[in-house]
Amino acid sequence: MQVALAYETQTQVINDLNSSSMAFATNVQRQPVQFRGRVVDPILMRQLMLATHEVIIGDYRESPRAFVLDPVITVHPDELFFEAFSTDGSSYVRLSAANEAFEIERESIYGTTNIDFTFALRSAIETMRSSRRTHFTIGRSGFAVQTTTNLGTASHFEQKVDLPDSWVKGFLQVQSALTMAAYSFHVRPVDLLSVIRYFMDTRVRKPPTGMRYVFKPGEAISVVLEPWEKVFFLKDTASGDYARTVRVWGRRRLEVLLRVLPYADKVTIGVLGRGLPHFYICRCGPYKFTLVLSGWAKNDWSSTSALDLLAPQTPIDGEAIASVYNALITHYALKPAEVEQHTLLNAAQSEAALFRLCREGRAMYDPVSRRYRSRELFAEKLDWQTLLAPDLRIQQGQQLAQSGAVTLHSVAPSETRKHEIRILGSVAGHETLVAVDRDSRVRFAQCDCNFFREHLMSRGPCEHILATRFAADPYLTNLDRVSIME
């Protein structure tokens, strides 16, 4: 697909002895978005903006791609935030700034738009200093408000970026990862910084170069770096009630956090499972820097992770989706329970509608506030029928469930994990185990088929796991009730 970007001027940072003006030119093909305020801490913003740009240009593939898509910025009543996807499609970044990060100087116009973010802008941002008053402006013309310097004459220019469908679908799959309620824990920034510094200072040329998060009851969570088997214990953390190990790859992408961690008060790490995405939320005063990484650097989110297959598959009609969308654009950010109140939909319907809006790029999930926010990723209307065609595994799983090929042995609350149901079944000669949470998301699964043995869950569930999940739907209305079928 092609994305058209049009600006009246290029974004720049203009500095003099007393002040800086950082004015972001916005895409004139979108609805107007406006914000202006004085930055309270210019140094902190500088470091976080530079880290955001490093994610945008990141490309760890052998054949780098030729495009870089300008990030989108959203202005809401309580905060503004940047979002971008790396060039290689393996990393997502979200930088949010609460209103407290600015002395707001004019009335804002809320909405989402693209902003012009060039290498020249990066060089200019590097010159920002705390000794200068810094003004942050978002508007159609990058320099609607002048400072003490001559800002020149604006000129309109356009560019078209040809985005492969796999890149677009990968960006949308990030929302599936963020809504999966990963196992998360808080760590001290200095401990994560020590881990990153070690593998940067001790390079290896050949694999394996994995990174393992190890959870042992009664012990602090540890990180093990391969191939050295170097162990780092994360102080003030707890492993929980059961032992497990989560292995991920592509750790070089964490180097972007070197700019962020010295300014972080706390870091939240979330892991999903072996080879699945993991995220890092760095809380830096009024700023939140969120980095979401695929299981490994060369992982294609769109075709291999298949994270949307783990989400609830509740059917939802267009009218219900529209009601949820209208609630979001009216209130900008809502928790799921608030969506139910504003739309009169039940929990399952609200969850399905929110998930659909996230998949279509019309909303996003904020893991910090745990709210869904209105956000149009693209100005153009996309062909969702083609881009988000149903996965063949879903169709196969539904056919197996409807044909009676699934035998459920038990559906019962987990004895070790709270708020989770474990389903044991047999499907076409294969033994399956599926665990779902209160929102009907698949949290853990096993199957003895060849697809699962080769990939585990790093490429999503097989059709046998999905069939077991579909067949158990009637028994999942009350997670406190135990149903045994022999």
Q: Is the pLDDT of residue 479 over 90?
A: no
Does the pLDDT value for residue 151 go beyond 60? no
Of 379 and 10, more confident: 379
- How far apart are the C-alpha atoms of 442 and 324, rounded to whole Å? 24
User: pLDDT tens-digit profile of 68-108?
Assistant: 667 888 999 999 999 988 888 788 999 999 999 999 998 99
Helices (H), 144-183: 165-178
pLDDT at 144: 30
Least reliable range by pLDDT among 20-34, 175-189, 215-229 = 20-34
Interatomic CA distance for residues 421 and 468, integer angstroms: 13
Q: What's the whole-number mean pLDDT along residues 214-223?
A: 94
Q: How far is CA 402 from CA 62, 396, 469, in A?
A: 44, 10, 12
Of 261, 13, 258, 287, the residue nearest 128 (C-alpha):
13
Token pair 């508007």 in the structure block, residue: 139
- CA distance readout (Å), 391 to 166, 276, 310, 444, 469: 14, 19, 12, 20, 15
Report DSSP letters for 364-379, one per residue: EEETTTTEEEE--S-S
CA–chain centroid gap for 422, Å, is 27
The span from the first CA to the last CA of the chain, in angstroms, equals 51
Q: For residue 62, what pLDDT is reported?
A: 64
DSSP 8-state class, residue 389: P
Average pLDDT on 206-214 reads 84
| Predicted local distance difference test score (pLDDT) of residue 301 | 57
Q: CA 55 to CA 51: how far, in whole Å?
A: 7
Q: Is the pLDDT higher at 324 or at 4?
A: 324
**Which DSSP state fits 301?**
I
| Selected residue with higher pLDDT from 163 and 89 | 89
pLDDT for 383 equals: 66
- The predicted-structure confidence for 243-298, as pLDDT tens digits, reads as follows 889 988 888 899 999 999 999 999 999 998 777 789 999 999 999 999 999 877 66
Summarize the confidence of residues 43-61 as an average pLDDT. 88
**3-state SS class at 216:** coil
Q: Which range among 156-170, 201-215, 262-276 has the greatest average pLDDT?
A: 262-276
Place of tokens 């100087």: 105
Does this model's pTM top 0.75? My answer is yes
Report whether pLDDT(218) > 50.
yes
Q: Which residues lie below 8 Å from residue 327, measured CB to CB, with a gap of 6+?
A: 334, 339, 342, 343
Chain-centre distance of CA 364, in angstroms?
A: 8
Higher pLDDT among residues 342 and 159, named by residue: 342
Structure-model confidence comparison of residues 223 and 140, the more confident one: 223
- The C-alpha angle 395, 397, 402, rounded to 5 degrees, equals 95
Helix 318-331, helix 347-359: angle, nearest 10 = 80
Please, what are the domains in the chain?
Answer: 2-163 (3.10.150), 177-304 (3.70.10.10), 318-387 (1.10.10.10), 392-484 (no CATH)
Greater confidence (165 vs 198) lies with 198
Query: Across residues 453-463, what is the average pLDDT?
Result: 84
For residue 145, the model assigns a pLDDT of 27
Q: Is 327 exposed, middle or buried (CB count within 10 Å of its CB: 0-12, 13-18, 19+)?
A: buried
pLDDT of 358 over the 80 cut: yes
Q: From residue 424, how far is each of 85, 181, 408, 466 by CA, in Å?
A: 38, 22, 6, 12
Percent of the chain with pLDDT over 70: 77
CA distance 82 to 247: 29
pLDDT value, residue 164 = 62
pLDDT at 153: 38
